[in-house]
């Protein structure tokens, strides 16, 4: 709250009141000081001033989406390897899309591993999810590349147990990554921060999937809002569903601006591809319920994303 207030004052003073107008030098100093303060509070991760690709938390080569547009957008040149990330269903009912996108990111992570590294992915499930969207189906996940010899699952009831298990698994370095679909009420800032620290300590990525909408503070490096997108039909049958397609919104990202993309996923090659509105039918079907994301609105959110996280800690 406090800092928002300051930022607001800064803006109004810079824009509206000539009496208190700061000269360019003073303004740069003030912004520099504020950035330094944010970095000190955050204590980790890329500095707000750091150039893209200079993330301290592991090289990005281990975990990229494979889409130049998205990877270049992220500060680490890909998903930060030693960190926590969030995948959030945009609305209720988007849970399968969120799970699918998480599985796709996990598959990308397995591709990034050394060939001799056969450490599996640990998927931690809160049992509450089972009743609503069913259980994870092994044959469905196998299509993503998460075959039974690359995937371990554990189902837990208590939210505290989920968090404990995530941290323990991340620190053990015995798994290549941890995916959890958790109870979003209990995954507050503290919980995500603990997951983040465990991921850094164990140098293992963590992916937290939230099946319903979520808009709280988080210590995770990125937050992806996922909604299904109409798929592009295969060329031989215009009435059949094509590859899974998702509308992605990067709403929080430390050190980068938010963004929005529509991607589809190829099971056979384990690759994303961008769906551009003219080529696909995404735009012309016009079923984006909230319409295209306004860049200005996203920008305002990003400021909050950068600042609000560490403050509550």
Partner 1 sequence: MPFVLVTPGPRGLRLAACNDEARARGLQPGERLADARAKVPDLASAVHEPAEDAASLLRMARWAERWSPWVAMDPPDGLLLDVTGVAHLFGDEAMLVADMTGRFGKLNMTARAGLAGTAPAARAIARFGQMGSPLVAEGAERTALATLPVEALDLDTGTVTTLRRAGLKRIGQLYDVPRASLARRFRAKDRHARLMERLDAALGLIRTPLSPLSPPVEFAVRHAVMDPLMSHDGVLAMLEHLGAALCLKLTRAGEGALYLELALYRADGSRAVVQAGLSRPSARAEHLVRLLAPRLEKVDLGFGVDAASLKARETQGLAAMQEALTREAGVGTQLAELADRIATRQDGAPVSVTVPVASHQPERAEEVKGFGESGAEFLPPPCPSPASGRGNDDGQPETSGESEARTRVSGMNRPVTLLDRPEEIQVIASVPDGPPVRFTWRHVARKVLKASGPERIAPDWWRTPARPGRPPRTRDYYTVEDEAGRRYWIYREGLYEEQDQPSPDWFVHGLFE
User: Where on the chain is the footprint of partner 1 (CB under 8 A)?
Assistant: 93-97, 99-101, 103-104, 115-120, 122, 130-131, 133-144, 147-158, 161, 164-165, 168-169, 172-175, 227-231, 233, 237, 239-242, 244-245, 247, 265, 287, 289
Q: Contact, 104 vs 272, CB < 8 A?
A: yes
Q: At what angle do helices 24-42 and 2-15 cross, to 10 degrees?
A: 170
- Token look-up 């995500």 returns 192
Nearer to partner 1, 64 or 227 (CB): 227
Minimum CB–partner distance for residue 50 and partner 1 (Å): 31
Dihedral over Cα of 204, 301, 87, 76: its sign: negative
Nearer to partner 1, 1 or 137 (CB): 137
Minimum CB–partner distance for residue 85 and partner 1 (Å): 17
Nearer to partner 1, 192 or 231 (CB): 231
Nearer to partner 1, 231 or 256 (CB): 231
Residue among 77, 39, 33, 85 nearest 58 (CA): 77
Nearer to partner 1, 182 or 310 (CB): 182
Nearer to partner 1, 205 or 244 (CB): 244
Buried b (16+ CB within 10 A) or exposed e, 207-235: bbbbbbebeebbbbbbbbbbbbbbbbeee
Q: Contact, 293 vs 248, CB < 8 A?
A: no
- Cα dihedral 213, 217, 220, 224 in deg (nearest 10): 30
Nearer to partner 1, 30 or 152 (CB): 152
DSSP H or E segment with residue 294: none
Minimum CB–partner distance for residue 226 and partner 1 (Å): 10
- Cα dihedral 218, 247, 167, 182 in deg (nearest 10): 90
Residue 53: exposure state from Cβ atoms within 10 A (0-12, 13-18, ≥19): middle
Minimum CB–partner distance for residue 230 and partner 1 (Å): 4
Residue among 55, 139, 141, 152 nearest 105 (CA): 141
Minimum CB–partner distance for residue 223 and partner 1 (Å): 19
Minimum CB–partner distance for residue 148 and partner 1 (Å): 5
- Token look-up 């319409």 returns 291
The secondary structure of residue 111, as a DSSP letter, is: H
Nearer to partner 1, 25 or 237 (CB): 237
Minimum CB–partner distance for residue 189 and partner 1 (Å): 24
Minimum CB–partner distance for residue 99 and partner 1 (Å): 5
């Amino acid at each position: 709250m406090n800092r928002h207030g300051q930022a607001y004052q800064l803006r109004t003073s810079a824009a509206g009141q000539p009496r208190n107008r700061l000269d360019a030098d003073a303004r740069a100093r003030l912004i520099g000081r504020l950035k330094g303060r944010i970095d000190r509070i955050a204590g980790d991760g890329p500095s707000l001033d750091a150039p893209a690709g200079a993330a301290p938390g592991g090289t990005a080569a281990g975990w990229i989406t494979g889409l130049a547009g998205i990877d270049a957008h992220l500060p680490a040149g890909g998903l930060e390897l030693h960190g926590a990330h969030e995948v959030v269903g945009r609305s209720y009912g988007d849970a399968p899309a969120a799970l699918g996108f998480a599985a796709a990111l996990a598959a990308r992570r397995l591709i990034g591993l050394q060939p001799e590294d056969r450490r599996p992915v640990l998927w931690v499930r809160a049992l509450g999810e089972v009743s609503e969207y069913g259980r994870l189906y092994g044959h469905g996940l196998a299509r993503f590349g998460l075959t039974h010899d690359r995937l371990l699952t554990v189902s837990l009831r208590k939210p505290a147990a989920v968090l404990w298990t995530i941290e323990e698994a991340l620190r053990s370095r015995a798994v290549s990554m941890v995916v959890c679909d958790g109870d979003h009420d209990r995954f507050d800032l503290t919980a995500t921060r603990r997951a983040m620290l465990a991921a850094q300590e164990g140098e293992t990525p963590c992916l937290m999937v939230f099946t319903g909408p979520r808009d709280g503070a988080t210590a995770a490096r990125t937050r992806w809002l996922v909604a299904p997108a109409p798929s592009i039909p295969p060329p031989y049958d215009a009435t059949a569903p094509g590859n899974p397609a998702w509308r992605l919104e990067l709403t929080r990202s430390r050190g980068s601006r938010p963004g929005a993309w529509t991607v589809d996923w190829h099971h056979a090659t384990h690759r994303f591809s961008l769906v551009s509105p003219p080529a696909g039918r995404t735009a012309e079907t016009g079923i984006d319920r909230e319409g295209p994301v306004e860049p200005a609105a996203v920008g305002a959110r990003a400021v909050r994303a950068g600042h609000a996280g560490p403050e509550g800690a």
